[in-house]
Amino acid sequence: MLAPYLISGVLKLFDWAGTQAEVGALTGLNPGPLLVLVAAGVIGLQLGASAWLLSGRHGAWLAALALAGFTLAATFLAHTWWQLPAGAERAHAFNGFWEHMALVGALVFAGVISYREDIT
């Protein structure tokens, strides 16, 4: 479940220009300090929250919920199938949207399990 975040974070780390272009395209941010901050935040969240959740340390449920929230927002920005005409591109975006929604559900579930382990 965390492999997509770890792989994406590492790839973004080593393709800084591509990362900024991707974040800019999805958010509408123009090149500048805010775009750099958001792009760095995406990398930090993907790698840091994944590592924290994998560690199983106290509060790992927060990492799971942070990744779930990030994925939910990113999915609505990147997989806008409802704006596309019928056809292969729309079907691809539709499938990507629901695959990401499944990740959100899995992360929420992991967060609940982690929280329960934290309080017991």
Q: Is pLDDT at 120 greater than 90 in this prediction?
A: no
Q: Could you tell me the residue range of the domain that residue 72 belongs to?
A: 3-119
Query: Of 94, 100, 70, 67, which Cα lies nearest the Cα of 80?
Result: 94
Tens of pLDDT, residue by residue over 54-104, are 998 999 999 999 999 999 999 999 999 999 999 999 999 999 999 999 999
What sign does the dihedral 6-18-79-25 (CA atoms) show? positive
Length of the chain: 120
Q: Which two tokens stand for residue 15?
A: 């393709």
Q: Is pLDDT at 21 greater than 90 in this prediction?
A: yes
Rounded to the nearest 5 degrees, what angle is found at the Cα of 46, between the Cα atoms of 43 and 47? 85
What is the pLDDT averaged over residues 18-43? 97
**For the whole model, what pTM was predicted?**
0.92
Helix or strand run (H / E) with residue 51? helix 33-55
Q: Which two tokens stand for residue 110?
A: 């992991």
Total of domains in the chain? 1
